[in-house]
Structure 1
């Protein structure tokens, strides 16, 4: 009879084989970044370690797509990543060697073998692992998050959740059943897509709620790479939990819930009024969160944990907003919104969950300024200064009171219209004559289709962008980039097509088109936080 430990090691060997055969495409996730965890911990009254001085652990780091850029951009931090796939670790180590990154270590290691000899970490990240391992490994993850977490440390764990996965499980079961006798990963993914297409095509005219759900889910899966399909839906392990079950397990490990990585998911006011009024009566974050999951049919969570001894301040004050950088993340009902629109009529700012309609001209001006500066965080203090410059109101105390109490910027943060950060954006929005892109992003463009920007986001590169990004080392002006692109077109490595999708052959027209295209790419790079 197998012991639990032996069973778990067998499970790990199965997963190791799956990930070695098909490495998971390793991306950055901005909501896992220690600067974000630092910000949320600070908001709720904790004293987390500044990221530049922190020790950071990632459990299940794959090839380092999330961890390496963290370490690269914070060279005085110390980062350790572990993963069960030797192939993925080797891929990541090559990047560390190529870029001469000394403060990041990637280690081929089972999480079951991880212990306290590696010391305490200020931030522990475990993204996309918890739901995809067995129960013993889950308990070990939480044990690591307790035993290896510093006194003021923050742990991040993401996981699939019920009730949302109740319906998604039917799609997974369909693909698993259809491909049960297929061993080859590429063929398995291909056949899974085939059966999804078969079902989707057959339900085109079906207007039932279930058919609508299936079509939407099939459309969603069609946009993902095979590696996602294989490891998310066709993995040997994928076990969602209810939020309250996860927190029961975390509590047993002497960990408390600090927050969700997405603040807006915690805020009851983002629900319809009849729900919000009742849920506000509940004085328990887990109970409230579980009811909210049932209401929203939540399928995925990203939970921040801390030691149970920590005193968490959940009584947020409107003045707390004054400590942070602000970045607008919603949309508006106006094209090219500007100060000319202030005071003319109502202006609406919205996201998928809420709409904020403003009539007061001072409130409108504040949101217009944040909208115009949306590509880089603006500190609350700078917003106040801009308000005094652009309005007839020069009383700083009055402006602060208006932002805090009348507009209630903290409310817009909790609604998800504005992101907060304790860190400024470390990138350049203004194009120089000879632009410089982040060296790590330039390096990434030489071997993959995306680059990690300074906001810790994956920026998909089109062929021209992929060709130009490695050249942005501060020595090439626009004419140089055009000449490079022209030579790539002549060599057949880049295609330039007319409106009828036919190759453009006239050299003068090619250069005209390339000039516009290169300018567009550079402007996008600036907005996408790739330039430094």
Structure 2
């Protein structure tokens, strides 16, 4: 049931004046949270039928796609902004999602009537509220979390925010008398420009300003207003956050970005010294890593304090086997000796050193962004290598290395359908993506809770995948004035060229939609084209 309830105690929020752009945040997906908990030896609730709470749900952009993907789970979103809640309700109605409840409510007023939750998400709230509200967030996580539940809290951190505070303080000082938030941002940007003009060349201060200036000049207004011009923005050191959580009866489990927890990406000498210095203290280790990386932002997973002793951050074969994995590589190119490939992705690169590693990388890369369960991946490698050449222990060790280096996406229950074979000739589109496109949205969330912006051609192709001639569908959209195909900035008018380019764009769109996780099945190639598609 979708409901809205005016709580007895609400406050006027700056988010009513300038609503935050509401979108999906992949790290908050309970399928990822449960996977991390299982990797580290805990037994979290199944996300498929879980109760999930989001504190600070904004306009529902994060919670609604999760609710659509997990129809047997139930969701509650609360927010201090009435405008955010109204947006969330409207979106839920538009998309036909009914296993979610939205409440205009302060976190302090989250009482026993809401019951318990298996997963609690609090993204983009903790640093931006007063200290007493931060205490309430931690307290409600403890009170509302089921015994095996997992909480997610994100926050700004030092040391990275030390330099950003210089910019924020200057913008706040300069705009102190300005009431309108958008006007305040304009004046803040002007202050930054003035500081850049006045700063002495070649100084550290100039480097700081140059580093922040592009993002502030071109960044989204809502983000900048709430990041740099809110009354509250209180970064903290990670070890202080962990201590505060411990005082609230919660234990630190993990960072949502697993690779940031491990030392595998460090030089061996630095890694060995750091491990010795920390003496097995994970919080101490990660704080040192934050200093070395000048970290600005964290996404911490917490559990009840009594689960702390059960946490084991060694990645054992048994725990690896129960999960699903996706390649985060986007390109594959031959290596220098021609015997294998180098795989590159958003978090780094990998080069295979053995036949087993080459086969493992090729198998997961060839899944085209789909999640494979461990058993399916392992069996595929064994089938290609042969029984005598397959070393299952070495395979597990390689998977563990890829995980700790951040080269794999790790997911828990709920990905079984996505791991199914998709080699059939028939193309089929993601159901939620279809609903979002039908609602006129181009910012669409895939099955792995990742947000992508579709092109105008994508928006034409996706709902018409069942048609035999998708090139004709694109051609018709051009003729109807829905989209334009351009060459060198000029609309194509020649009918024969237009039909040819429509076909090329249709094929390119299918390849792109498949890579983004919105299409399965079929086979397509993406031939080159000089034509560019735009919205009409």
Same fold (TM over 0.5): yes
Aligned equivalent of 1:6: none
Aligned equivalent of 1:127: 123
Q: State how 1:479-494 maps to structure 2 within 5 Å.
A: 479=471, 481-489=473-481, 493-494=482-483
Q: State how 1:62-461 maps to structure 2 within 5 Å.
A: 62-197=58-193, 206-281=201-276, 282-310=279-307, 311-330=310-329, 334-335=332-333, 344-345=338-339, 347-349=341-343, 356-391=350-385, 393-395=386-388, 398-405=390-397, 408-423=398-413, 424=415, 426-427=417-418, 435-443=428-436, 446-461=439-454
Shift of 1:250: 0.5
Q: Deviations over 1:372-425 (max 9, x none)?
A: 22411222222232223323x3238x43123134xx320221111222222436
Cα separation, 2, equivalents of 1:430 and 1:209:
54
Q: Which moved more, 1:214-223 or 1:94-103?
A: 214-223
Aligned equivalent of 1:478: 470
Shift of 1:197: 5.0
Structure 1: 5+ residue runs without aligned partners?
Answer: 1-8
Alignment equivalent of 1:528, drawn from 512, 516, 526: 516
Q: Deviations over 1:68-116 (max 9, x none)?
A: 1111111110100000111111111012222332210111111111112
Q: What is the TM-score normalised by the length of structure 2? A: 0.86
Query: Do the aligned partners of 2:13 and 2:80 also contact (CA within 8 Å) in 1?
Result: no
Q: What is the TM-score normalised by the length of structure 1? A: 0.87
Task: Say if 1:482 and 1:58 are closer, same or farther in 2 by CA, change over 3 A.
Answer: same
Shift of 1:218: 2.2
Shift of 1:313: 2.0
Cα separation, 2, equivalents of 1:476 and 1:135:
59
Query: Do the aligned partners of 2:330 and 2:346 also contact (CA within 8 Å) in 1?
Result: no
Cα separation, 2, equivalents of 1:346 and 1:99:
45
Query: Do the aligned partners of 2:68 and 2:432 also contact (CA within 8 Å) in 1?
Result: no
Task: Say if 1:439 and 1:416 are closer, same or farther in 2 by CA, change over 3 A.
Answer: closer
Structure 2: 5+ residue runs without aligned partners?
Answer: 1-7, 521-536
SS at match of 2:92: helix
Cα separation, 1, equivalents of 2:170 and 2:422:
47
Paired residues, number: 506
Shift of 1:476: 7.8
Cα separation, 1, equivalents of 2:186 and 2:423:
44
SS at match of 2:486: coil
Cα separation, 2, equivalents of 1:476 and 1:89:
42
Task: Say if 1:73 and 1:300 are closer, same or farther in 2 by CA, change over 3 A.
Answer: same
Cα separation, 1, equivalents of 2:275 and 2:163:
29
Shift of 1:247: 1.1
SS at match of 2:54: strand
Cα separation, 2, equivalents of 1:465 and 1:181:
46
Query: Do the aligned partners of 1:38 and 1:49 also contact (CA within 8 Å) in 2?
Result: yes
Cα separation, 2, equivalents of 1:318 and 1:212:
46
SS at match of 1:496: strand
Aligned equivalent of 1:5: none
C-alpha RMSD of matched pairs (Å): 2.8
Task: Say if 1:128 and 1:381 are closer, same or farther in 2 by CA, change over 3 A.
Answer: same
Cα separation, 2, equivalents of 1:287 and 1:112:
31
